[in-house]
């Protein structure tokens, strides 16, 4: 399958890329290409201009600044999966990365590209919602930081303006005891998630402080299960509390029936995964 014709631009610097995005009509950013190229081949997307950011230096680092992790937009999924920095700082990210797509796709696909693509079945959106992350959006005249919940607007739609480039993801890492987990149901490796649930908890003196819960594949975008999060704040980590959060998260989901399962089945799996995810996250917080 051949995509439609496009003009190819390969800026060597961030400034050149931002100038290209500001001046070109109908331009898309090419990062890892593992979502964009398939949709271009299927002609769901036919951008007139493609701005390849792969040669821009400085977009592929994982940094720990003490308060959290900063992931460059071009950090590949596999880089996160094998990073000792990530393993030490975020059990949520470390558990999610190896579950994304398949090993070959993970070698090219990038965290920034995945978030900007905003597929509701994408895994990073839920993970970043649960983690309370934000993205750095840059244009020639400056940059802004947008919280994940504001960044994800709708299906394949984000807060990115046409002249902006997502340059980094900022993931806060709490100072105290915290843990997380990503649970994913898929028919086979590499298939879109039937259901995915990301959970992050911060413990405070034996009770749950902040809890973050993100849902994959059960709505028109990755969903932050706000009511479930609220029910856990200040709660004892009990089976009852987990079950209640599971029910509230399931109620916040709006899955549709498709070849991967009925809406009822998916909603039930959200409940199950939230319960299991919380147990696993608390276990990892105590470890």
Partner 1 sequence: MQITVTVNGSERTADVEPRLLLVHLLREVLGLTGTHVGCDTTSCGACTALLDGTPIKSCTMFAVQADGREVTTVEGLLQDGQLHPVQAAFKEAHGLQCGFCTPGMMLVGKALIEQNPSPSDEDVRWAISGNICRCTGYMNIVKAIQLAAETQAGASTTA
Which positions touch partner 1 (CB under 8 A)? 1-8, 10, 30, 33-34, 37-38, 41, 50, 52, 54, 101-105, 107-108, 189-190
Q: Dihedral of the CA atoms 64, 67, 71, 73 (nearest 10)?
A: -140
Token representation of residue 109: 């696909």
Nearest approach, Cβ of residue 96 and partner 1 (Å):
16
For partner 1, give the closer residue by CB, 49 or 134.
49
Nearest approach, Cβ of residue 56 and partner 1 (Å):
13
Nearest approach, Cβ of residue 231 and partner 1 (Å):
37
Distances (CA, A) of 234 to 145, 202, 204, 226, 250: 29, 10, 8, 15, 21
For partner 1, give the closer residue by CB, 5 or 240.
5
For partner 1, give the closer residue by CB, 5 or 206.
5
For partner 1, give the closer residue by CB, 30 or 130.
30
Q: Are 265 and 242 in contact (CB under 8 A)?
A: no
H or E stretch covering 134: strand 134-139
Nearest approach, Cβ of residue 140 and partner 1 (Å):
24
For partner 1, give the closer residue by CB, 41 or 144.
41
The angle formed by the CA atoms of residues 140, 142 and 146, to the nearest 5 degrees, is: 120
The angle formed by the CA atoms of residues 78, 81 and 84, to the nearest 5 degrees, is: 125
Nearest approach, Cβ of residue 15 and partner 1 (Å):
21
């Amino acid at each position: 399958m051949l995509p439609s014709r496009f003009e190819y631009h390969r800026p060597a610097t961030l400034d050149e890329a931002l100038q290209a995005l500001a001046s070109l009509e109908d331009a898309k950013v090419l990062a890892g290409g593992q979502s964009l190229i398939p949709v271009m081949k299927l002609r769901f997307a036919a951008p007139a201009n493609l701005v390849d950011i792969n040669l821009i230096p400085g977009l592929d680092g994982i940094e720990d600044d003490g308060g959290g992790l900063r992931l460059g937009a071009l950090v590949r999924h596999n880089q996160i999966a094998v990073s000792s920095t990530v393993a030490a700082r975020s059990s949520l990210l470390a558990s999610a990365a190896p579950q994304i797509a398949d090993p070959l796709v993970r070698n090219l696909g990038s965290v920034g590209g995945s978030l900007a693509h905003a597929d509701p079945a994408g895994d990073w959106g839920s993970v970043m919602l649960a983690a309370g992350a934000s993205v750095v959006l840059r244009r020639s005249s400056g940059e802004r930081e947008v919280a994940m919940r504001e960044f994800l607007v709708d299906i394949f739609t984000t807060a990115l303006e046409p002249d902006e480039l997502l340059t980094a993801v900022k993931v806060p890492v709490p100072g105290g005891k915290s843990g997380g987990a990503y649970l994913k149901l898929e028919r086979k490796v590499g298939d879109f998630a039937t259901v995915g649930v990301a959970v992050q908890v911060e413990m405070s003196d034996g009770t749950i402080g902040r809890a973050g819960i993100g849902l994959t594949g059960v709505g028109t975008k990755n969903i932050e299960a706000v009511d479930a999060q609220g029910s856990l704040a200040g709660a004892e980590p009990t089976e009852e509390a987990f079950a209640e959060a599971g029910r509230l998260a399931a109620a916040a989901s709006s899955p549709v029936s498709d070849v991967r399962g009925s809406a009822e089945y998916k909603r039930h799996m959200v409940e199950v995964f939230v319960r299991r995810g919380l147990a696993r996250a608390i276990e990892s917080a105590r470890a």
